[in-house]
Amino acid sequence: MNLELGFEEALKNQRLIHGVLKRVHIYPTRVDYEDYFQEGLILYAQTYVDYCQKNNDLTKFNVYVYQKLTWRMLDWLRQEKRYTEFHSLEEYDFQQVPEKALTSVLEFVNYRDLSVLERIILQEYFINGLPLVILSKQYKKTTRALRYCRDRLLKKLRVMYEV
């Protein structure tokens, strides 16, 4: 049995593949939805060919392929999650750094030269990772004022670091 027949069956039964994607919380709004759908088509076709070679009874095939697709999609999602966790270098995560190392990194900061709001931004925004929108609501400041203060803080920190 060839793979073409498997792809024909997969194209006839696209609804099952979309259902599997929905079950594992992969929605059409995701950027890579079509990639997962294509992977599902390929896996469906391969599974169909393998199942037909082993079994002549196709009555239980839909249940079998649905479960196999679900497991494989979950495996792909776990693999993708592990990869992105390991390779995410865009943002430095201070929470994964031991506290002693963090204080040694920030030794150059002269806290007396910082205003109260700048200390809050240093702690809450840069170290704890809270967004400025949440900080603006919490401290009753506009996001524009917090952005301005953040930029001023960064300039001060650069000067302190160079000295």
What is the chain's Cα-based Rg?
A: 26
Q: Bigger pLDDT: 123 or 85?
A: 123
Q: In this structure, are 49 and 118 located in the same domain?
A: no
- Please give the DSSP secondary-structure letter assigned to residue 111: G
In this prediction, residues 24-43 reach a mean pLDDT of 93
Give the pLDDT confidence score for residue 113 in this predicted structure.
Answer: 83
Q: In this structure, are 80 and 98 located in the same domain?
A: no
Q: Which helix (H) or strand (E) holds 130?
A: none
SS3 17: helix
Give the pLDDT confidence score for residue 1 in this predicted structure.
Answer: 67
Mean pLDDT of the chain: 84
Domain that holds residue 129: 94-162
2 φ/ψ sector (left φ>0, alpha ψ -120 to 50, else beta): beta
SS3 91: coil
106 has pLDDT over 80: no
Q: In this structure, are 81 and 99 located in the same domain?
A: no
- List CB contacts of 93: < 8 A, sequence separation 6 or more: 129
pLDDT in tens, 48-101: 999 999 988 888 999 999 999 999 999 999 998 887 776 655 555 555 544 444
Last residue of a domain, one of 52, 87, 122: 87
- Return the CATH number at 109: 1.10.10
Cα distances (angstroms) measured from residue 110 to each of 38, 140, 149, 156: 55, 26, 16, 10
Strands (E), 4-64: none
Widest distance between CA atoms in the chain: 80
102 has pLDDT over 60: no
Q: In this structure, are 10 and 59 located in the same domain?
A: yes
Give the pLDDT confidence score for residue 97 in this predicted structure.
Answer: 46
